[in-house]
């Protein structure tokens, strides 16, 4: 392939990427599907970041979450953090489960650990009363396995595992006190 042809392809790819990012700025979620089809993780992240930025309400964020889940798309750090922030404002049983799931889908042990710590804090403050200590512990453990083996075995994964051991201990003690 000639150098001129390669340059034309590079320019076309850059224009396509900018078009998708621009569409995401207009809250066009289909741009994320198209970016996914291009198999370019960096572009997918850029498009998803723009869609998160356009989610100016919890309702818009939930619509984005649903779109991502329905299309089996990747969750990045920004989306996971937005979901956790939304959950903190209005925690309940359902949003707790979703926030922990999206934090795990980010495949970032630090984000998942922060979500676990937030859940323990909210639960301790009585803000998610409808979740028993045993259920919360099971939710933590179940979502942990959503993380990739690479993430679970990383240094951050080790810190997460230690936090989960302590969380189990705290929740077991709380469950015993209730009985």
For 138-166, the pLDDT digits (tens) are 999 999 999 999 999 999 999 999 999 99
pLDDT, greater one: 8 or 146: 146
**CA atoms lying within 13 Å on the CB side of residue 86:** 26
Of 56, 68, 102, 60, nearest to 83 by C-alpha is 102
Positive/negative CA dihedral, 56, 57, 59, 64: positive
- pLDDT surpassing 80 at residue 1: no
DSSP-based three-state secondary structure for 125:
coil
Inter-CA distances, 14 with 17, 20, 37, 119, Å: 5, 10, 15, 41
Tokens of 16: 């396509």
Place of tokens 């889940």: 69
Percent of the chain with pLDDT over 70: 98
Share of the chain above pLDDT 90, in %: 86
Residue 129's pLDDT band (cuts 50, 70, 90): confident
Average pLDDT, the chain: 93
Distance CA 163, CA 128 (A): 20
Of 7 and 46, the one with more pLDDT: 46
User: Rounded to whole angstroms, how far apart are CA atoms 139 and 127?
Assistant: 17
Q: Quick one: pLDDT at residue 179?
A: 59
The pLDDT score that the predictor gives to residue 27 is: 95
Tokens read off for 88 = 């903190």
pLDDT at 11: 84
Q: In whole angstroms, how far apart are CA 70 and each of 62, 88, 146, 172?
A: 12, 24, 17, 35
Rounded distance between C-alpha atoms, residue 144 and residue 122, angstroms:
19
Structure tokens at 62: 């939930």
Identify the residue whose tokens are 């934090």.
Answer: 103
Range 6-32 average pLDDT:
91
Give the burial string for 37-47 (b: 16+ CB within 10 Å, else e): eeebeebbbbb
């Amino acid at each position: 392939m000639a150098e001129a042809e390669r340059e034309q392809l590079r320019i076309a790819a850059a224009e396509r990427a900018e078009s998708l990012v621009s569409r995401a700025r207009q809250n066009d979620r289909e741009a994320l599907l198209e970016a996914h089809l291009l198999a370019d993780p960096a572009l997918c992240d850029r498009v998803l970041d723009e869609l998160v930025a356009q989610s100016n309400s919890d309702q818009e964020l939930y619509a984005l979450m649903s779109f991502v889940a329905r299309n089996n798309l990747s969750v990045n750090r920004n989306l996971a953090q937005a979901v956790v922030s939304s959950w903190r404002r209005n925690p309940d049983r359902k949003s707790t489960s979703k926030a922990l799931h999206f934090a795990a889908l980010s495949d970032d042990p630090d984000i998942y650990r922060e979500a676990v710590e937030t859940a323990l804090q909210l639960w301790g403050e009585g803000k998610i009363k409808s979740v028993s200590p045993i259920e919360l512990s099971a939710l933590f453990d179940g979502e942990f396995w959503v993380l990739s083996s690479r993430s679970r075995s990383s240094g951050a994964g080790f810190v997460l595992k230690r936090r989960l051991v302590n969380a189990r201990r705290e929740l077991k003690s709380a469950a015993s006190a209730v009985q």
